[in-house]
Amino acid sequence: MQLLVWEDRFSVGIREFDQHHKILFEMINSLIIAKEETSGPNVIKNTLEQLHLYTIFHFTAEEAMMKHFEFEGLDDHIEEHQVLLKKVEDYQTKIADSEEISIDEVLNFVAGWVLDHTLGIDQLYGPFLSHRTG
Ligand SMILES: [Fe+2]
């Protein structure tokens, strides 16, 4: 898998959240590199742990901002966030249970979700929030 490269089209128009999204890209890139270096399950486990904590932090920040400005797409947005969290937690449970886990599957899911989400539903709050937050 190719490393993710940030482009302007990913921008949601709010610097703080663009910064978060760039960090998510970097986390996915670490996973791609870990895979290429055929790192052991511990590296994958740690990267997933970081990703899990960071997405909770980031989703909480986005949701709080949407709530604060009474953005009407909030519920749909929370649902999408939950899909990612649930899946990452499933992967973590599998690892904890010493089940075989495919790094390709994890990467395809997580990278696909982050790209779709950033280019999709995240773009809806951008124009709404950016001129309220200045
Ligand atoms: Fe989001």
pLDDT, tens digit, 9 for 90 and up, residues 6-56: 999 999 999 999 999 999 999 999 999 988 887 677 888 898 999 999 999
Distance (Å, whole) CA 19 – CA 2: 21
Determine the CATH number of domain 13-133.
Answer: 1.20.120.50
Q: Residue 112: count other Cβ atoms within 10 Å of its Cβ.
A: 10
What is the 95 CA–ligand 1 centroid distance (Å)? 26
CA-closest candidate to residue 48, choices 95, 113, 80, 83: 95
What is the 113 CA–ligand 1 centroid distance (Å)? 10
Per residue in 93-110, pLDDT (tens digit) is 999 999 988 889 999 999
CA-closest candidate to residue 6, choices 126, 113, 115: 115
Distance (Å, whole) CA 11 – CA 7: 8
What is the 21 CA–ligand 1 centroid distance (Å)? 9
Write down the domain spans for the chain.
13-133
Q: What is the pTM of this model?
A: 0.91
What is the 37 CA–ligand 1 centroid distance (Å)? 30
What is the 24 CA–ligand 1 centroid distance (Å)? 12
